[in-house]
Structure 1
Amino acid sequence: MRRTLIALGVGLGLLGSTVVSVPAQAAGSVKVLLASTVPVAQQVAAFWLADDAANLRNATPYAVRTVLQGERLSTPVVPDGPPFQIPPIPLEEERPSSTSGKVFFVGADGQPHWCTGTSMQSKYRNIVATAGHCVRDTQREGATLDKWAFVPGYSEGTTPWGLYVGKLAFVHHDFDVYAGHDRDFAFVNVYGGVVSSSTGVLTNTGKLAENVGGQGIAFNQATTPSADVLGYPAGPHPDGTRPYTGQTLESSTGPTFAVTLPDAPTGRLIGVESPFTGEGAIGSSWLYDYSGDSRTGHLNGITIGVSDTDGDNRYDTGVSPYFDNEVRAVYMSALSMWTGSIAQPAAAVASRPGGTGLSSHP
């Protein structure tokens, strides 16, 4: 076992983004500490927002474990229990926002990188869903990716709804120990959002899902005739073409099906027909029952890699863990975790689109 165990509530204030993790109450769920104190979180926010958000602008798409040698299966995925759903959080007013965004972090190479992430339904409106290897560093034994933060609605270097620093994350035990593909998912609890003034003072922008909404989630579903994939693909196809820039949110729609990885035997995986390239698209949300009007649906997959299943040198399939009862247990561990704010609420945040200045305390 490659993680160090500590008692809940003991020593947490001394830890920032570390390799220490704590077993959660749910079986199979592991708590991973990110920026566990407000001073550390403020340092993370300053790293990304300083110098006109230079580190956000200079970050490159994460290129670790993006391509999988997947094969489509004709047999269906068999659920391990009855279907279960949690509804999404629609916004109470119409405004241009997006639950999708980029998760930013510093990798093993010491450079800033990004994956895709998604705002989710939760008690304290503070969960981001992404791939497990966009939180846990599979290149370093027992390590966590540093300076983790989420920017919803990211486009061309902007932070329209603020930046949300990760406080802690929940991953599956099998991914924490073995980095298995079938458990490559993470649910991250983030602090309230912040923006930075010209003097570097952080201003609170409020709870994540109150600003941008939150997707629902579904478990033990049959493969669906259609799923909408939302993400920020940026890498090339095997033939060298680059259809995406990674600067704006992209979407695709296709059926889902069971897949297998012959070169990496693992548990149940599903695929979706999608032309997304791997770099940047890791962590993309798969939504079924998606409504273009409300921009909400039910998360039922997260891209952990892409495959060229027909051999034409162009990626045609996204791969995800199957959302079963074990995914549900990890999600439920994150569902009721309170995180709080790292800055004082603003009297008014008029310059932010849709700004409310909502407090981050329950």
Structure 2
Amino acid sequence: MKRTLIALGVGFGLVGATAIATPAQAAVVATVTLAGTPGAPQIATFWLANGGANLKNATPYSVRTSVSVTDATTAPVPDTKPGSVPPLSPDTGEAPTTSGKVFFVGADGQPHWCTGTAVQGQYRNLVATAGNCVLDIDGASATQSQVVFVPGYSDGTAPKGLYVGKQAFVHEEFSLYDDLERDYAFMNVYSGVVADSAGVLSNVGRLADNTGAQGFAWGQPLPPSLDVFGYPAGPHPDGTLPYTGQTLERSTGAASGLAAPELSAEWLLGAESPFTGAGSLGSAWLLRYDADRGLGHLNGITMSVSDTDADNRYDTGVSPYFDSQTATVYKAAAVAWTGRIV
């Protein structure tokens, strides 16, 4: 898989951030290009044309949506002091609209979607999602194609604009080996656009200015509970289909340490959640969520779900544990500039 390794300095530039990068950590970051600026308007038009037909026709991504897990032998142990970056309220004065859908064309040539979340970054252009919603682990291409983020998505509309992905930062071990313990991605998006009735695009500004952004936390002790936000749409193993994927869902559940022996993943984070896998890949796990503000700290990303009690219904979300290396990947993405496409 093609990638470019980048070296990181210690500086960061975000209020509340903790600098933790070291030379030994610098090589953990891989970055992949999603769209050059000249081609970005065509990607936006692909999704917005014909009343958002491709958005409406997209189906929930269903690659590696479930995994068998066991209780971890030991709970994830922080490898650094706990660190965090604060959340951000939108400049509009409205309630945050940080959750949305990451749309892309998959290896099968069809439009699909995962869940994504706006996260605090220096240029207010950062989206967090599952790594396999950005990198193509099911086909021959390095990345998914036509990748965009639509916060607050509803029935083919982009109420806060559509944001074309420029590049994504992932852990090197995920880019090379599809390592489940590193299945997360931080994507920089161009400023948002909307289309008029004639299909002409106009700029609507930076993502977090319009939506707000969740904070980010790493190296945290196992919390008592986490709030999970996503767009589940797939069935349970018993065939029931409790979610449509059309509305944002929230679940709150106890956190736990998990392992996935079949995938050689020893340190994973679990959260009690009834979400099904398809559609909810990339869901945000928020620590210290404040319902009145609609903001918290991203501390996990759904990269799979599990039926832990064998009753044919999913009951647990599965996420990588956010350690110092996750923070290194995040910090690389958080200082990357994008700009506008129109």
TM-score, with length taken from structure 1? 0.88
* Aligned counterparts of 1:246 and 1:316: Cα–Cα separation in 2: 17
* Aligned counterparts of 1:73 and 1:314: Cα–Cα separation in 2: 21
| Contact 2:95–2:294 under 8 Å retained in 1 | no
Query: CA-to-partner distance for each residue in 1:22-44, whole Å, 9 max, x for gaps?
Result: 212232101100112x2210010
Per mean C-alpha deviation after superposition, the further-off stretch among 89-98 and 267-276 is 89-98
1:294 aligned residue: 293
Give the drift of 1:264.
1.2
1:179 aligned residue: 178
SS of the aligned residue for 1:137 comes to: coil
Quick one: which amino acid aligns to residue 255 of structure 2? T
1:232-311 correspondence to structure 2 within 5 Å? 232-311=231-310
1:24 aligned residue: 6
Per mean C-alpha deviation after superposition, the further-off stretch among 243-252 and 154-163 is 154-163
Q: Name the count of aligned residue pairs.
A: 324
SS of the aligned residue for 1:299 comes to: strand
SS of the aligned residue for 1:334 comes to: helix
| Contact 2:183–2:303 under 8 Å retained in 1 | yes
* Aligned counterparts of 2:263 and 2:148: Cα–Cα separation in 1: 30
* Aligned counterparts of 1:86 and 1:227: Cα–Cα separation in 2: 17
Give the drift of 1:245.
0.2
| Gap change, CA 1:93 and 1:29, over 3 Å in 2 | same
- For the pair 1:35 / 2:35, whether they are aligned, the reply is yes
State percent identity of aligned pairs. Answer: 56
| Contact 1:97–1:153 under 8 Å retained in 2 | no
* Aligned counterparts of 1:302 and 1:135: Cα–Cα separation in 2: 13
The 4+ residue runs of structure 1 with deviation greater than 6 A are: none
Give the drift of 1:263.
1.2
* Aligned counterparts of 1:276 and 1:53: Cα–Cα separation in 2: 26
SS of the aligned residue for 1:283 comes to: coil
Give the drift of 1:141.
3.9
* Aligned counterparts of 1:128 and 1:174: Cα–Cα separation in 2: 20
1:146 aligned residue: 145
Give the drift of 1:267.
4.3
Per mean C-alpha deviation after superposition, the further-off stretch among 148-157 and 277-286 is 148-157
Q: Which stretches in structure 1 are left out of the alignment for 5+ residues? A: 4-20, 344-362
2:100 aligned residue: 101
- For the pair 1:315 / 2:314, whether they are aligned, the reply is yes
* Aligned counterparts of 1:222 and 1:284: Cα–Cα separation in 2: 20
2:12 aligned residue: none
2:194 aligned residue: 195
Give the drift of 1:208.
0.2
| Contact 1:72–1:309 under 8 Å retained in 2 | no
| Contact 2:227–2:251 under 8 Å retained in 1 | yes
- For the pair 1:90 / 2:72, whether they are aligned, the reply is no
2:115 aligned residue: 116
Give the drift of 1:97.
4.1
Per mean C-alpha deviation after superposition, the further-off stretch among 153-162 and 191-200 is 153-162
Q: Which stretches in structure 2 are left out of the alignment for 5+ residues? A: 9-25
Per mean C-alpha deviation after superposition, the further-off stretch among 331-340 and 73-82 is 73-82
* Aligned counterparts of 1:74 and 1:230: Cα–Cα separation in 2: 28
| Contact 2:75–2:267 under 8 Å retained in 1 | no
Quick one: which amino acid aligns to residue 150 of structure 1? F
- For the pair 1:135 / 2:134, whether they are aligned, the reply is yes
SS of the aligned residue for 1:143 comes to: coil
Give the drift of 1:74.
6.7
Give the drift of 1:70.
1.4
Give the drift of 1:73.
3.3
Quick one: which amino acid aligns to residue 112 of structure 2? H
SS of the aligned residue for 2:265 comes to: coil
TM-score, with length taken from structure 2? 0.93
| Contact 2:163–2:192 under 8 Å retained in 1 | yes
* Aligned counterparts of 1:118 and 1:318: Cα–Cα separation in 2: 17
